[in-house]
Amino acid sequence: MQKSIRKYFALFALPGLVAFAVAFLIPMVMGIVLSFAKFSTVTDATFTGFDNYRKIFIDKEFITALWFTVRFTVVSVVSINLGAFALAMLLTRSIKGTNIFRTIFFMPNLIGGIVLGWIWQVIINGVLLPKGVTIVSDPKYGFWGLVVLMNWQNIGYMMVIYIAGIQNISHDLIEAAEIDGAGRWTLLKSVIIPSVMPSITICTFLTLTNGFKLFDQNLALTAGDPGKQTEMLALNIFNTFYGRTGFEGVGQAKAVLFTIIVAAIALTQLRLTRSKEVEA
């Protein structure tokens, strides 16, 4: 069978592989090569070794953006997952109207990042109005604004994943624990959380990588203001490429570094939480 399928390589595999090569693979290889070069249009590249990587750190921009991104991601991963898990627990208790609540909580997730950013800009500016300031007056407003925005957008999504996990726990297991006299906390700690470990892995992975890669929401909510202090990594890279002439190579080097950071975090996290799954 393999042999006869192989004859149809051009029909089955080629279209997908060509699109993948054009959109991702070739640009990826070019990107890695160009991170070691000075260029402005790809074709005028001259090799400069590690110069671009050194230039990443000539100003504090990248480090500021990295630090902002890390703080933002940690806070939002924790808050989104706690919020989503709590809602999932509430919505698996056979309370009236569960489906309607689930529908409402999930809805913000379908709204795109740009639209979300503008919605929250108006609301946060409205809340800050009595103080006579706006969201770009102080970086802490932008920070907490982004956290609230991400919670609003992602809690419902993670909630449906947790609900699926909780519903998979067998009733026998919970009954057995109750008969053994397990209180509510023991039940949560020793039965429910270990059983939903796979959901925790997925939700942590999704919130972690979404948080690190965040771009649209950042652009629409504050665009990095005041003075680049709320600029996250993705936006900083974008601005390095398109906002500073002569810095295309530095932008590309930042992008390579960013990719390595994201891949390292994602793989470490998967390994860590997956190992907990086995224990459970």
Partner 1 sequence: MIVDKNKKSTNFILFIVLIALAFIFLAPIFIVLMNSFKSKLFISSEPFTFPTTDTYSGGDNYISGAEKIKFFSAFGYSLFITVLSVLAISLVTSMLAWYVTRVKTKFTSFAYYLLVFSMIVPFQMVMFTMSKTANMLHLDNPIGIIVLYVGFGAGLGTFMFSGFIKSIPISLEEAAMIDGAGPVATFFRIVFPMLKATAITVAILNTMWVWNDYLLPYLTIGTEYKTIPVAIQYLRGGYGAVDMGAMMAMLVLAMVPIIIFYLSAQRYIIRGVVAGAVKG
Residues 106-145 contacting partner 1, CB under 8 A: 106-115, 118-120, 122-123, 125-126, 129
In whole angstroms, the minimum distance from the beta carbon of 231 to partner 1 comes to 13
In whole angstroms, the minimum distance from the beta carbon of 220 to partner 1 comes to 6
Q: Which positions from 150 through 209 interact with partner 1, judged by CB under 8 A?
A: 152, 156-157, 160-161, 164, 198, 202-203, 206, 209
Is residue 47 a contact residue for partner 1 (CB under 8 A)? Answer: no
In whole angstroms, the minimum distance from the beta carbon of 38 to partner 1 comes to 14
Question: Look-up: residue for tokens 């919020």?
Answer: 83
Q: Is 111 left (phi over 0), alpha (psi -120 to 50) or beta?
A: beta
Label each residue of the chain as H, E or C: CHHHHHCCHHHHCHHHHHHHHHHHHHHHHHHHHHCCEECCCCCCCEECCCHHHHHCCCCCHHHHHHHHHHHHHHHHHHHHHHHHHHHHHHHCCCCCCHHHHHHHHHHHHHCCHHHHHHHHHHHHHHHHHHHCCCCCCCHHHHHHHHHHHHHHHHHHHHHHHHHHHHHCCCHHHHHHHHHCCCCHHHHHHHHHHHHCHHHHHHHHHHHHHHHHHCCHHHHHHCCCCCCCCCCCHHHHHHHHHHHCCCCHHHHHHHHHHHHHHHHHHHHHHHHHHHHHHHHC
The neighbour count for residue 169, using CB atoms within 10 Å, is: 15
Of 63, 74, 90, 280, the one binding partner 1 by CB under 8 A: 90
Is residue 67 a contact residue for partner 1 (CB under 8 A)? Answer: no
Of 146, 234, 250, 253, the one binding partner 1 by CB under 8 A: 234
> Which part of the chain contacts partner 1 (CB under 8 A), choosing from 59-67, 136-144, 186-194, 253-261?
253-261
| CA separation, residue 163 to residues 89, 109, 131 (Å) | 7, 16, 40
Is residue 273 a contact residue for partner 1 (CB under 8 A)? Answer: no
In DSSP terms, which residues pair with 101 in a beta bridge?
A: none
Is residue 255 a contact residue for partner 1 (CB under 8 A)? Answer: yes
Q: Give the contact letters, 25-44, x = binds to partner 1 (CB under 8 A), - = no.
A: xxxx-xx--x------xx--
Of 57, 59, 60, 97, the one binding partner 1 by CB under 8 A: 97
Is residue 22 a contact residue for partner 1 (CB under 8 A)? Answer: yes
In whole angstroms, the minimum distance from the beta carbon of 183 to partner 1 comes to 13
In whole angstroms, the minimum distance from the beta carbon of 209 to partner 1 comes to 7
In whole angstroms, the minimum distance from the beta carbon of 112 to partner 1 comes to 3
Of 219, 221, 250, 253, the one binding partner 1 by CB under 8 A: 219
Between residues 22 and 176, which has the closer beta carbon with respect to partner 1? 22
Between residues 139 and 234, which has the closer beta carbon with respect to partner 1? 234
Is residue 226 a contact residue for partner 1 (CB under 8 A)? Answer: no
